[in-house]
């Protein structure tokens, strides 16, 4: 065994001592999912008010506890918030990871980066997001983008050292496709052909002057992909008005319509779709529930409930739930105590992430937190472990190495998948 393999195995053994139910290094399971829909609750969703309810509290009187009562689910012994009543009836097809953690508390952007890359921000390496890694490992069909972001772009969601070819196509309006895909009406076919001829001349001249591994070649490859996407066939996926009105009504909100679009995208062959729930918040602050934002948090929870439950049903009806992994994530959680104005602060040592579908062996809930929901008392799940589990579900080796130039970089930061979900 060489030095690198010894260190890798030693690290996995150390993890195994604290979490014996994790798969050991070199024995990682391989799931059969083919694509991932990643629902992002930006701002820091309170686990005690959603997926890990505790004793009932009162924000008005500063009594620590959950803001809403708990209800039973289809999985015996597992409860969720009362505003997740539809999801509660579908928990047999999902698992709530209640003990996810990392070490970022006060900085939202750093925590977002942690959850998207599985690593802290580095001054020397720009790590790729999980969406970019998945599209790097699982190529999409010709004429289909690998990674679509339904929301605002950020560096944390980017391709890092994998290069522009594995970046995202993004849009913020579900009623039409991404800006720039459709050519303006005044650009006729003959005019387009003249432009393409000139472009090809410039491309050939440019590429003749750069090395085979020059980053500009990633952008050149994107030109061909963009031209294919602008042909019109792919744009049909954005026509939500072709869906039954009853189904669109079940998806409910603007967030729900983006979840419907995500289903259409994965049907088309897109490997990774991230849907941001942070465009038009009914409570005014979104999931960053400091102060008064806490008061109307139930509106957000109800939107997620309708969209998530319908997405599970929709994928199941289309017979693609087992091949589509749904992830519901956020940058960190919230403490059980209320602040001076009835809101909640930040907490990163124990919060919830939901996995649904994807052909996993679901168990309702994984891991347990203490009565104050401040720390895990069983089965901690680090951000790298979460990434490793997602990779394994999609048949990607979570112990593989990627390369930043000539430098090998582990695909996760020593993350180990949760074996229970695969057995």
Q: What is the DSSP string of 337-392?
A: S--TTS----B-SSEEEEEEETT----EEE-EE-TTSSSEEE--EEHHHHHHHHHH
Q: Average pLDDT by consecutive 10-residue portion of the chain (423 residues)?
A: 41 40 62 97 96 94 94 98 98 98 93 96 93 96 90 93 91 72 71 79 78 68 61 80 95 94 96 87 80 86 97 98 98 93 91 98 97 96 98 97 94 96 93
pLDDT at 324: 98
DSSP symbols for 4-47: HHHHHHHHHHHHHHH-TTBPPTT--------EEEEEE-TTT--G
Q: How far is CA 168 from CA 153, 171, 392, 411, in A?
A: 8, 10, 22, 19
pLDDT at 212: 73
> Whole-prediction pTM value?
0.87
Residues in the chain: 423
Closest residue by Cα to residue 253 from 332, 316, 178, 311: 311
Exposure on the CB side of residue 242, measured as CA atoms within 13 A: 8
pLDDT at 3: 41
**In the chain, domain spans:** 33-178+245-422, 183-229
- Tell me the Cα Rg of the chain: 22
pLDDT at 1: 39
Q: Which CATH class is domain 33-178+245-422?
A: alpha beta
E strands in 68-142: 70-72, 79-81, 94-101
């Amino acid at each position: 065994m060489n030095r690198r393999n010894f260190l890798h195995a030693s690290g996995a053994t150390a993890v195994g001592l604290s979490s014996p139910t994790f798969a050991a290094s070199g024995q990682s399971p391989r799931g059969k999912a083919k694509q991932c829909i990643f629902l992002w609750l930006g701002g820091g969703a309170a686990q005690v008010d959603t997926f890990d309810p505790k004793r009932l509290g009162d924000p008005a009187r500063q009594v620590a506890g959950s803001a809403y009562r708990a209800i039973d689910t289809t999985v015996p012994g597992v409860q969720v918030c009362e505003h997740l009543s539809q999801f509660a009836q579908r928990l047999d097809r999902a698992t709530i990871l209640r003990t996810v953690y990392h070490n970022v508390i006060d900085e939202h952007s750093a925590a977002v980066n942690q959850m998207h890359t599985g690593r802290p921000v580095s001054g020397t390496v720009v790590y790729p997001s999980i969406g970019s890694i998945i599209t790097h490992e699982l190529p999409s069909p010709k004429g289909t983008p690998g990674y679509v972001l339904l929301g605002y772009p950020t560096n944390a969601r980017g391709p890092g050292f994998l290069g522009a070819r594995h970046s995202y196509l993004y849009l913020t309006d579900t009623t039409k496709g991404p800006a720039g895909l459709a050519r303006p009406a005044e650009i006729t076919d003959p005019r387009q052909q003249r432009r393409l001829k000139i472009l090809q001349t410039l491309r050939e001249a440019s590429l003749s002057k750069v090395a085979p591994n020059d980053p500009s070649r990633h952008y050149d490859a994107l030109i061909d992909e963009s031209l294919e996407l602008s042909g019109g066939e792919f744009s049909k996926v954005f026509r939500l008005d072709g869906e039954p009105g009853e189904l669109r009504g079940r998806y409910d909100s603007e967030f729900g319509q983006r979840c419907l679009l995500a289903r259409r995208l994965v049907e088309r062959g897109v490997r990774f779709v991230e849907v941001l729930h942070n465009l038009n918040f009914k409570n005014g602050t979104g999931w960053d529930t400091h102060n008064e934002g806490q008061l109307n948090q139930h509106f957000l929870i109800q939107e997620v409930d309708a969209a998530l439950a319908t997405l599970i049903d929709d994928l199941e009806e289309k017979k693609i739930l087992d091949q589509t992994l749904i992830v519901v994530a956020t940058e960190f959680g919230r403490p059980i105590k209320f602040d001076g104005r009835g809101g909640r602060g930040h907490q990163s040592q124990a919060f919830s992430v939901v996995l649904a579908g994807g052909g996993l062996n679901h168990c309702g809930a994984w891991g347990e937190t203490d009565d104050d929901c401040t720390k895990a008392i069983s089965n901690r799940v680090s951000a790298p472990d979460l990434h490793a589990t997602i990779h394994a579900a999609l048949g990607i080796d979570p112990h593989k190495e990627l390369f930043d130039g000539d430098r090998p970089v582990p695909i996760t930061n020593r993350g180990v998948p949760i074996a229970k979900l695969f057995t």
